[in-house]
């Protein structure tokens, strides 16, 4: 495999995590101890917010009137796509039953969790799309109570468009809380909301670390690092589109990796030449993020052929994988490690981030090797059941007793044997496992 790096990253997404972990643990300890008062204190100190934590119906209705009709229509369009895709996923999940031996019936049921907490990022950007992705999917899964939270702006609270979206998607309670305190409020059941069974949604490194620490006490969708994106491009790709697709993802943050894997050196150079020009067209803060991400985290990798490109992509296991190359069906069949796959120049990761339907809460930092993104499955438990007749219990009880005796688990053996003694009095059973 002759892979050549035309540009190599000088930073990794894991830089500085130790101090983040210490800070978040201390915050969670205080929030669990001080409850609502602790969350209010963090909202005041970190978000400069001293208003109501629980957003009232009156506030939501006022916010709706501030959202332009065209934006409302766009949000409804995107939310309906997301809802219909989630419903299609839900329709693939079914209960089942099987008479596994005569007289012994087994089965599975799909049960949604009772309470979910949906974290919607705020800060630099107003993440309308994250509200749609998390709340809508929980609603389609059948979750009984959905709490959503987002960082409030000083003196303003959650942005009107985000409030409109949270309400449209079906949130039962909305909290003016961001960061660790928002995650903790949902996990610990502060401000009168039910304790969340699962907490989902993207966020900064502090939010991700809070979810990591709380995992076990609550379920989580995944531990997400900075968003990342990889483009596979061959000589048929348009370098201008590729450059903008890389820059569009790099603007997420200074530490958001973007990678280009190509078999064409001329294309690679053309893309690298265009990147600074694209960055220069962004607003100042977006440009600052994209410039840092491109400088410190981006890579451009030259391969000999498409099989090498596929191997590199599978090794990186990116959150977003965009193929701009010939023979898209081959790539769809070949690639195996990604959060979400985008095929052809006619689509782009931004479509998936905002409006096309599949969820944008996706595995980062290589975790697409072993997990997928947020879906209705994350909000549901697959549980099993069994029921037997007396005759159906006979062979299972005998096998259970012999296996248990062999293992040295006498209590397990007796729980099987006493049933045989009750159901079939006077019969003799051989519980010797043999040589």
Residue 99 designated active-site: no
What does each C-alpha distance from 83 to 139, 200, 222, 355, 376 come to in angstroms? 9, 17, 21, 11, 10
> What are 3's two structure tokens?
């892979």
From 308, 130, 338, select the one nearest 228 (Cα to Cα). 338
In the chain, helix, strand, coil percent, each to 5? 50, 15, 35
Residues 6+ apart with CB under 8 A from 264: 233, 234, 235, 237
Among 320, 322, 360, 417, the active-site one is 320
- 319 in catalytic set: yes
How big is the chain, counted in residues? 435
Q: How far apart are CA 247 and CA 113, in angstroms?
A: 38
The arrangement of strands across the sheet holding 320-324 comes to: 4-7, 299-302, 258-262, 229-233, 320-324, 340-343
The DSSP code sequence of 223-272 is ---S--EEEEE-TTS-HHHHHHHHHHHHTT-TT--EEEEES-HHHHHHHH
Cβ atoms 78, 132 nearer than 8 A: yes
Residue 128 exposure: Cα atoms within 13 Å on the Cβ side: 18
Catalytic residue, candidates 291, 319, 322, 360: 319
- The answer to whether 309 and 235 have CB atoms below 8 angstroms apart is no
User: In the chain, what is the greatest distance between 2 CA atoms, to the nearest angstrom?
Assistant: 89
What is the set of active-site residues? 319-320
């Amino acid at each position: 495999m002759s892979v050549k790096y035309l540009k190599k990253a000088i930073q990794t997404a894991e830089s500085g995590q130790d101090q983040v972990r210490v800070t978040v643990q201390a915050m969670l300890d205080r929030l669990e101890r001080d409850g609502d008062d602790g969350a209010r204190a963090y909202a005041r100190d970190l978000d400069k917010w001293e208003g109501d934590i629980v957003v009232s119906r009156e506030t939501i209705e006022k916010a709706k009137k501030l959202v332009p009709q065209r934006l409302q229509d766009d949000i409804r369009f995107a939310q309906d796509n997301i809802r219909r895709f989630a419903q299609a996923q839900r329709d693939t999940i079914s209960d089942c039953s099987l008479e596994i031996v005569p007289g012994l019936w087994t089965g599975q049921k799909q049960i949604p969790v009772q309470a979910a907490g949906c974290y919607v990022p705020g800060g630099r950007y107003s993440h309308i799309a994250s509200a749609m992705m998390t709340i809508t999917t929980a609603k389609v899964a059948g979750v009984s109570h959905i709490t959503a939270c987002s960082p409030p702006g000083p003196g303003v609270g959650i942005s009107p468009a985000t409030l409109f979206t949270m309400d449209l998607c079906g949130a039962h309670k909305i909290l003016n809380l961001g960061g660790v305190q928002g995650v903790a409020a949902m996990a610990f059941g502060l401000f009168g909301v039910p304790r969340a069974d699962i907490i989902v949604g993207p966020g900064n490194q502090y939010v991700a670390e809070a979810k990591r620490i709380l995992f076990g006490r609550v379920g989580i969708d995944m531990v997400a690092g900075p968003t990342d994106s990889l483009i596979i491009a061959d000589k048929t790709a348009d370098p201008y589109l590729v450059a903008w697709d890389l820059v569009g993802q790099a603007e997420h943050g200074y530490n958001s990796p973007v990678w280009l894997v190509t078999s064409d050196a001329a294309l690679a150079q053309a893309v690298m030449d265009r990147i600074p020009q694209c960055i220069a067209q962004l607003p100042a803060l977006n440009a600052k993020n994209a410039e840092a991400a491109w400088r410190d985290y981006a890579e451009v990798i030259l391969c000999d052929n498409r099989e090498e490109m596929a191997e590199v992509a599978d090794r990186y296991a990116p959150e977003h994988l965009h193929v701009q190359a010939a023979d898209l069906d081959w790539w769809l069949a070949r690639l195996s490690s990604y959060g979400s796959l985008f095929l052809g120049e006619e689509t782009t990761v931004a479509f998936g981030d905002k409006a096309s339907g599949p969820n944008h809460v996706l595995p980062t930092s290589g975790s697409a090797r072993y997990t997928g993104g947020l879906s209705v499955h994350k909000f549901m438990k697959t549980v099993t059941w069994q029921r037997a007749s007396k005759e159906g219990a006979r062979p299972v009880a005998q096998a259970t007793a012999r296996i248990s005796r062999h293992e040295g688990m006498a209590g397990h053996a007796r729980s099987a044997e006493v049933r045989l003694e009750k159901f079939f009095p006077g019969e003799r059973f051989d519980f010797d496992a043999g040589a």
